[in-house]
Amino acid sequence: MNTLPYSIDDLYWFVLIAEAGGLSSAARQYDIAKSTLSNRLVRLEDSLGVKLLQRNTNSSNLTDAGELFLREVGPIIHRLEGVTSELTNREIEPKGLIKLTASGTFGKLVILPLIAGFLRNYPQVSIEAELTDKRIDLISQGVDLAIRIGELNDSNLYAQKVGEVRRVLCASASYIKLYSLPHEPEQLMEHSFISQSRSSSKIRLTKNDKTRQFTIQSRLTVAPSDNLLAAVSAGLGIAPLAEIQISNFIKSGEIVRILPEWELPEENVYMITPSNRYRPLALRLLLDYFKENIPERIQFLKNNG
């Protein structure tokens, strides 16, 4: 059997783009980045060897080939969508395996406790969770959901923001006793730093309308991120620790916040899936559960972490 030179998913998005009246309209209607739709359309056109949509600055129109393709393919895609929807609606009890990934610290403090509650509610669902700071290719690894923090690089994935987190500069009380507190950002360069990767060596601090940016030299690199706290507690230096993990350590005096009036940038928390279509019931329920509970869990840990 011959393999098709294009994916059904690309056909599906071509039909939606065409029926919406162009890339911009489809991006607004389906809440997906225009660049993502454009990449899918280009991939389909390249595989077919024909231009399907004529694009310019203000509008986009189907070519003759695009009109023909839409007439033939459109009904097939809609029928496929109808059958899929019918099968999904028959799935009354959520079941099956969900594969997800999250970073070390956030996964351990936020995601795993929430998973425990979800699994108690749905006994026929299983979850395989990989906690790692490495960016996993969701499609090639067969991952259903990633919880990611910070900038997103892959525009072909569907992202939904569910919260914000921040890191704060910290050191142990024992380290401060030996080396004293820095009182200005410039004094940070006189101290030892711990980071989770060599790429995390840049620090940007803000205070009102003032900004300071530094490239630090880490004496120790520790991964995954949840191990940074142990290194700081051992008195090995200053590190940017997740705000959600240090509240109780700050209260006890074991950990001291450095330059508390200066802040590191806030980072967005996203749920990432390969597509926002054709999700099984168990995954849809987990996404809704995370959307509702992740912000509450973050706030709880800021006060009690």
- Minimal CA–CA distance to 18: which of 57, 73, 58? 73
The set of residues, in sequence order, having a beta carbon less than 8 Å from that of 23 and lying 6+ positions away, is 17, 34, 37, 38, 41, 53, 55, 60
CA distances to 128, 255, 257, 300 from 263, rounded to whole Å, are 35, 17, 11, 20
Confidence of residue 214 (pLDDT cuts 50, 70, 90): confident
CB neighbour class for 269 (10 Å; exposed up to 12, middle 13-18, buried from 19): buried
Taking phi over 0 as left and psi of -120 to 50 as alpha, with beta for the rest, 159 belongs to beta
Mean pLDDT of 241-259: 92
State whether residue 101 is helix, strand or coil.
strand
> What's the rounded mean pLDDT across residues 154-178?
89
Residue 261: predicted pLDDT: 94
- Alpha-carbon span 64 to 84, nearest angstrom: 30
| pLDDT of the residue at 58 | 63
Amino acid identity of residue 119, one-letter, is L
Q: Which of 42-46, 99-103, 120-124, 284-288 has the lowest mean pLDDT?
A: 42-46
Is the torsion defined by CA of 191, 248, 226, 164 positive or negative?
A: negative
pLDDT above 70: residue 54: yes
The residue-averaged pLDDT of 72-91 equals: 75
Section 154-177 average pLDDT: 88
DSSP 128: E
Tell me whether strands 210-215 and 202-207 are parallel, antiparallel or unpaired. antiparallel
Cα 267 off chain centre by: 10
Provide the greatest CA pair distance for the chain: 76
CB of 219 within 8 A of CB of 193? yes
**pLDDT interval class at 87 (50, 70, 90):** low
Q: Which two structure tokens, joined as six digits, stand for 291?
A: 């959307």
> Which pTM does this prediction carry?
0.69
Beta carbons within 10 angstroms of residue 203's beta carbon: 21
Measured between alpha carbons, how far is 178 from 170 in angstroms, rounded to an integer? 15
pLDDT tier for residue 155 given thresholds of 50, 70 and 90: low
Q: What is the pLDDT of residue 79?
A: 83
C-alpha span between 124 and 201 (Å, rounded): 44
Length of the chain as a residue count:
305
CA atoms within 13 A of residue 123's CA, in its CB half-sphere: 0
pLDDT for the residue numbered 1 = 42
Give a three-class secondary structure readout of 30-69: HCCCHHHHHHHHHHHHHHHCCCCEEECCCCEEECHHHHHH
Token pair 């403090």 in the structure block, residue: 109
Omega of the bond prior to 224 within 30 degrees of 0, cis?
Answer: yes
Distance of alpha carbon 236 from alpha carbon 195, whole angstroms:
11
Banded pLDDT at 91 (limits 50, 70, 90): low
Q: Give the pLDDT of residue 59.
A: 67
**Cβ count near 144 (within 10 Å):** 22
Among the ranges given (35-49, 129-143, 144-158, 229-243), the one the predictor scored with the smallest mean pLDDT: 144-158
DSSP-assigned letter for residue 4? P
Q: What's the average model confidence in pLDDT over 46-63? A: 83
